[in-house]
């Protein structure tokens, strides 16, 4: 406990001394969320990254999130506690294959979910997150065909919501595809009063059971607005920390995952690569830092800026 206190104090001192801002995603371990300057979903973190004046930005999240920060802040030092903190969804869209894919469909507007590499962003017309995807799609003229990548589950959900015929890339997130529908229905029988809420990266059969579907920030907002109820939460378990803080008296139950899932819980192994100790070392050594090739960065900046503009 004392060690945790010491390292926390060291991080806070270093942050001040080096004029650094710490951004943390809701899936980070609780101790990291508790000392961050800003905690939020992908859109909120990109918005904060776009307005910070610090010399250093530490992204306690995964690689694509840190890349987005660097795309927006080429002159600042961008750090990530563990450079191997990747994303199964971003990995499901290799740039060479994607280039061939979009080459087959000229005239399409390419909308990419922010969970993708800088190379994919550079090939896109506009970026979206789960918070603003509907708004971004609705900003594209009705008669313009759209490619949506890389998440097929979010894509299918957006087709249903917008009535648009999106051409989907078949990518997915391993964490959100691990939820077990049988176990979820069993759990709901045990807590019949509970409401199921889900992140749109979850599979269609999970989304069909949900009273609310939205981004991590949207899910927290929904629970806050209905705090006299019980919830089964279908997204990464790290969200429960921030959610429970908002609604201390509300029962929150993590959605169950299938037996063959190696982790037996809904934790994202990549997000959890970041630890308090690695955060301390990364701030102390100013490493690992994130760099994005300048020609890719310039191409990726346009669709990221477009997204920020649409989300105002």
270 binds, among ligand SF4, ligand 13P, none (CB under 5 to 8 A by kind): ligand SF4
* Minimum CB distance to ligand 13P, residue 197 (Å): 12
Crossing angle, helix 239-246 and helix 216-225, to 10 degrees?
Answer: 30
Is residue 88 involved in binding ligand SF4 (CB under 6 A)? yes
For the bound state, the minimum distance from the C-beta of residue 198 to ligand SF4, rounded and expressed in Å, comes to: 13
Residue 249, SS3? coil
The mark string for 270-289 relative to ligand 13P (x by CB under 6 A, - otherwise) is --------------------
Q: Which of 47, 88, 130, 209 binds ligand 13P (CB under 6 A)?
A: 130
Give whichever of 21 and 92 is closer to ligand SF4, judged by the CB atom: 92
Residue 132 in contact with ligand 13P, rule: CB under 6 A: no
Name which of 114 and 147 has its Cβ closer to ligand 13P: 114
Provide the minimum distance between the beta carbon of 169 and ligand 13P in the complex, in angstroms, as a whole number: 16
Rounded distance, CA 170 to CA 159, Å? 14
Distance (Å, whole) CA 20 – CA 223:
32
CB 212 within 8 A of CB 222: yes
Q: Is the distance from CB of 181 to CB of 234 less than 8 angstroms?
A: no
153 belongs to the binding site for ligand 13P (CB under 6 A): no
- Least distance from ligand 13P to the Cβ atom of residue 286, Å: 26
For residue 16, the minimal CB distance to ligand SF4 (Å) is 29
Q: Which of 11, 22, 128, 173 binds ligand 13P (CB under 6 A)?
A: 173
Question: What length does the chain have?
Answer: 312
* Residue among 88, 216, 266, 274 that touches ligand 13P (CB under 6 A): 216
Residues ≥6 apart with Cβ < 8 Å to 231: 194, 195, 196, 197, 223, 250, 251, 252, 253
The C-alpha atoms of residue 30 and residue 181 are separated, in whole angstroms, by 28
- For residue 130, the partner it binds in ligand 13P, ligand SF4, none, with Cβ less than 5 to 8 A by kind, is ligand 13P
Region 11-70 residues binding ligand SF4, contact defined as CB under 6 A: 62
Is the Cβ of residue 34 or residue 286 nearer to ligand 13P in the bound state? 34
Is the distance from CB of 216 to CB of 245 less than 8 angstroms? no
Contact 155, 164 (CB under 8 A): no
Burial code of 255-273, b = ≥16 C-beta within 10 A, e = fewer? bbbeeebeeeebbbebbbb
Q: Which does 215 bind (CB under 5 to 8 A by kind): ligand SF4, ligand 13P, none?
A: ligand 13P
Q: How far is Cα 204 from Cα 239, in angstroms, rounded to an integer?
A: 21
Residue 154 touching ligand SF4 (CB under 6 A) = no
* 46 close to 305: Cβ distance less than 8 angstroms: no
Residues between 213 and 242 that touch ligand SF4 (CB under 6 A): 236
Q: Which of 173, 209, 155 is nearest to 27 (CA)?
A: 173
Q: Interaction with ligand SF4 in 91-130: which residues (CB under 6 A)?
A: 115
Q: Are 198 and 234 in contact (CB under 8 A)?
A: yes
Q: CB of 218 within 8 A of CB of 129?
A: no
Task: State the residues that interact with ligand 13P by CB under 6 A.
Answer: 41-42, 115, 129-130, 173, 199, 201, 215-216
Residue numbers at the binding site for ligand SF4 (CB under 6 A):
62, 87-89, 115, 173-176, 201, 236, 268, 270-271
């Amino acid at each position: 406990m004392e060690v945790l206190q010491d390292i926390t104090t060291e991080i806070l001192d270093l942050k001040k001394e080096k004029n650094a801002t710490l951004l943390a995603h809701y899936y980070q371990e609780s101790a990291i969320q508790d000392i961050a300057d800003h905690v939020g979903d992908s859109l909120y973190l990109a918005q904060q990254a776009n307005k910070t004046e610090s010399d250093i930005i530490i992204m306690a999240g995964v690689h694509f999130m840190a890349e987005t920060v660097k795309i927006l802040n080429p002159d600042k030092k961008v750090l990530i506690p563990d450079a191997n903190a990747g994303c199964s969804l971003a990995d499901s869209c290799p740039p060479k294959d994607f280039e061939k894919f979009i080459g087959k469909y000229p005239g399409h507007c390419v909308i990419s979910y922010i969970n993708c590499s800088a190379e994919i962003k550079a090939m896109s017309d506009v970026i979206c997150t789960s918070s603003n995807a509907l708004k971004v799609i609705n900003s594209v003229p009705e008669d313009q065909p759209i490619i949506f990548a890389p998440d097929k589950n979010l894509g299918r959900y957006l087709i249903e919501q917008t009535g648009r015929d999106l051409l989907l890339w078949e990518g997915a997130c391993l964490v959100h595809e691990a939820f077990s529908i049988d176990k979820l229905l069993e759990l709901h029988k045990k807590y019949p009063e509970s409401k199921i809420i889900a992140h749109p990266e979850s599979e269609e059969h999970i989304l069909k059971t949900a009273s609310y579907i939205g981004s991590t920030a949207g899910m927290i907002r929904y629970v806050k607005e209905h705090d006299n109820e019980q919830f089964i939460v279908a997204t990464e378990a790290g969200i429960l920390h921030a959610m429970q803080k908002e609604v201390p008296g509300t029962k929150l139950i993590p959605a169950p995952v299938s037996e063959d899932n190696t982790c037996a819980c809904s934790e994202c192994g990549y997000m959890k690569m970041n630890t308090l100790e690695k955060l301390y070392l990364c701030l102390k050594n100013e490493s690992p830092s994130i760099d994005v090739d300048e020609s890719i960065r310039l191409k990726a900046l346009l669709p990221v800026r477009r997204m920020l503009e649409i989300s105002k």
